[in-house]
Structure 1
Amino acid sequence: MKWLYRLHLWVALSLGAVFVLLGLTGSLLVYQSTLDRWLNPELLQAEAPAEKRVTAADALETVEARTTDEEVVSFLSLPGAHPAVYRFYIGTPERSFDRLVTVDPASGELMGVRPVGKGLMRFVHVLHFRLHLGRSGQTLIGFTGLILLFSMISGGVLWWRRRGYRLRQVPLHHGFGVYAGLPLGVVVITGILLALPQYTRPAVEWFSPLSGLDLDHQSQVDETSKDIGLEQALRLAREDMPGGEIRSVGLPREPEGIYRLTLREATPSGWLAGSGRVVLDRYSGEVLAQQHWSEQSGGDRFMSALRGIHGGSAFGAWGQAVVALLGLVPLLLYVTGLRLWLRRRTRQQQTP
């Protein structure tokens, strides 16, 4: 198996630093939202949980008062249970996600503005997912993940051939690889699937249809048309999915625009829970399209669950902690493997 050892070694020496980079940035991204709030409290952290929130419509009015005639408010992310804030995204109809504007849910006051794509955690996110190389960088990350998966499998084969099932008194490099190999493999595989959707989606459709949600609907406009308003849209979505928690709202950007709402459904609960979506006519309030989590195909659920599994959030706080620790494993494998290689090389040079 010398050829496999040499190939495993060559991959580690040539791409090991990239594997380490992906692991460390992945560990940080597990807590991306939390870290972003800590780094930017004046923008993203309300002082205390709002016992009585200002309505989303009032917050929207505050933001719209600060926009120019050429700008539109395109998206709203609602606060969760923690002392979070209303997040609005504004821009032009062509570039709708240009700036992030936040509003305090207790006072209703505008907190700050940040260009989308700026900030340390956003930098880390793009580095992890695309290496700051655009879509080609995302594809490169996907194939790098395949090479990492090969490196893990080849390392496991080499360990198996040499030691069998025995895990006592093994070098740290082998121990880290064996004990962390399976859960790390799940993280790597889900990362590959996320990075290569052009291959993932057709493959999934072989087993289960991917329906998605048609967002090409348009609102019917006439001379008497009057927008139902954000609060009415929120009420109608809650009626359509009782017990659901509204997470975000895509706002109409043109006269024919629609309301697109995403809700965390009440059932099922736990790691099986998922999001439902509702599309509303902005004038009549008619439900133009809906997709309950319970009605989605297996393929839709699989694609929706990938990100939660990759980052550990699908399994709660403990899952996130495990994934964050797994992000350190490539660094440990790189350091311990490099030490083993240097020690072996030294012995070979000393052998007459």
Structure 2
Amino acid sequence: MKLLDTLHRWTGGLIGLVLALLGLSGTILLYEHLWIGLPGTGDPLRGDLATVAATTEKLMAMPGAQGVIFADDRFGLHQMRFGGQGNDGAGAYASQSGEIVTRWTSQWERPELWIFDFHHHLFAGDSGEWVIGIAGLAGLFFVISGAILWWRTRKTFQLRLWPKRMSRPSIVMHHRDLGIIAAPLLLISIVTGTMMIFRPFALVMIAPFGSPAEAAKAIEPPKYTGGALAEKPDYTAMLTAARQRFPDAEFRILSLPRKAGDPIMLRMRQQAEWLPNGRSTLWFDAATGEVLGARDALTMPGGAQAFNMAFPIHASKVGGWTWRIVMTLSGLAMTMLGSFAVWSFWFRRPKPVKRVVKKALAPT
């Protein structure tokens, strides 16, 4: 038990700040659709084929346009992505009629973008994902080991939102008692978040729902090869074909090929899908607009469908305000537990007791 306590304290002191910042940034992102505050964010969704097709043709005709994330019920603006020389990170928000509301040349001009980048990559791309994945596994260890360590002090349990005093004993007692209350919520946040970062961990978690190998194969995009991107792709024809394939689905993401020969990709969300951007996907030949293939998310293996539920649970994209409040409590608890763990470990460590050695009196 002493070894477990030492591991819990040292890993908390080293990784607690990362978890605290992830909890805080994640909580802020739960409400981004409310604080962005641009004209049109609250507009009702106009998802009919004619409106979406006309707007898509207009937006994708803009110089450097590489893709669009379509508006949905929670956020009434389309988000554009631009590419080309000097346009890395550039984008824009547009109304559902195709009028540009605001543009940016870098993610640092939009707080929701750089907060998202921090929460998912720590501003460090794939390397940051590895750090977050390790922190997620450490967080899982904290929850389990913390529950074990709390059991021996359960008789002193007191529910406090804040430590009684900012002394190390009070902070440690508050940390243990708040941790045991928040443990179920933290498990949900940590498990779902780590699933999205560490694929091996995700495959272990979805194993009860089906073959991990089949799930991994179903999630990976198929390889299609087509012609070079046409000068004026017929987006209306593509959207029409997509609506015929998935009649009740919403248009979610349109992406142009990143390199020659790759297809144009269109993601859609069927009504039964939890994932806000859906996994029902069509691929089109970039030269001709011909449908190369389609994937129905509702027919994917059980393991793949379980994996698709991780993000909507983690980001409270399901469950309405009730679940958003639950995940808010989880994020705030992680922020408080992580920050106090670092504070008590590095700045409120007990001072070593000085041993007083009495000298023996010489005989007289």
The structure-2 alpha-carbon separation of the partners of 1:301 and 1:272, relative to structure 1 and needing over 3 Å to count, comes to farther
Q: Tell me, yes or no, if structure 1 residue 154 matches structure 2 residue 131.
A: no
Q: Deviations over 1:53-85 (max 9, x none)?
A: 983444345445641xxx4x2212222235622
Q: Tell me, yes or no, if structure 1 residue 193 matches structure 2 residue 198.
A: no
Q: 1:77 aligns with which of 69, 78, 83?
A: 69
Q: 2:306 aligns with which of 299, 302, 306?
A: 302
Q: Distance in 2 between matches of 1:125 and 1:5?
A: 34
Matched AA of 1:110: I
Equivalent in the alignment of 1:8: 8
Equivalent in the alignment of 2:82: 90
Q: Tell me, yes or no, if structure 1 residue 312 matches structure 2 residue 316.
A: yes
Contact 2:253 2:277 in 1 (8 A): no
Secondary structure at the counterpart of residue 105 of structure 1 = coil
How do residues 1-352 of structure 1 correspond to structure 2 at under 5 angstroms?
1-35=1-35, 37-38=36-37, 41=38, 45=40, 48-49=43-44, 55-63=51-59, 66-67=62-63, 71=64, 73-82=65-74, 84-92=76-84, 98-106=89-97, 108-118=98-108, 119-163=110-154, 171-197=173-199, 200=202, 207-209=212-214, 210=216, 211-212=218-219, 214-219=221-226, 229-251=234-256, 258-266=263-271, 268=272, 275-281=279-285, 286-334=290-338, 345=350
How far did 1:200 drift? Answer: 4.1
Secondary structure at the counterpart of residue 313 of structure 1 = coil
Contact 2:29 2:112 in 1 (8 A): yes
Q: Distance in 2 between matches of 1:52 and 1:339?
A: 50
Please list every run of 5 or more consecutive structure 1 residues that lacks an aligned counterpart in the other structure. Answer: none
Matched AA of 2:23: G
How far did 1:126 drift? Answer: 2.3
Contact 2:253 2:268 in 1 (8 A): yes
Q: Distance in 1 between matches of 2:47 and 2:121?
A: 41
How far did 1:254 drift? Answer: 7.7
How far did 1:188 drift? Answer: 0.9
Secondary structure at the counterpart of residue 111 of structure 1 = strand
**TM-score normalized with structure 2 length:** 0.75
Contact 2:33 2:74 in 1 (8 A): no
Q: CA RMSD in A?
A: 4.0
The structure-2 alpha-carbon separation of the partners of 1:14 and 1:137, relative to structure 1 and needing over 3 Å to count, comes to same
The structure-2 alpha-carbon separation of the partners of 1:254 and 1:30, relative to structure 1 and needing over 3 Å to count, comes to same
Matched AA of 1:7: L
Q: Distance in 2 between matches of 1:329 and 1:142?
A: 19
Please list every run of 5 or more consecutive structure 2 residues that lacks an aligned counterpart in the other structure. Answer: 161-172, 357-364
How far did 1:135 drift? Answer: 1.7
Secondary structure at the counterpart of residue 327 of structure 1 = helix
Q: Deviations over 1:106-165 (max 9, x none)?
A: 4x323332135332222222222222233222111211222222222221111113337x
Contact 2:42 2:74 in 1 (8 A): no
Higher relative contact order by CA 8 Å / sep ≥ 6: 1 or 2? 2
Contact 2:273 2:298 in 1 (8 A): no
Q: Distance in 1 between matches of 2:157 and 2:239?
A: 56
Compare 204-213 and 8-17 and name the one that shifted more: 204-213
**TM-score normalized with structure 1 length:** 0.77
Q: Distance in 1 between matches of 2:73 and 2:114?
A: 26
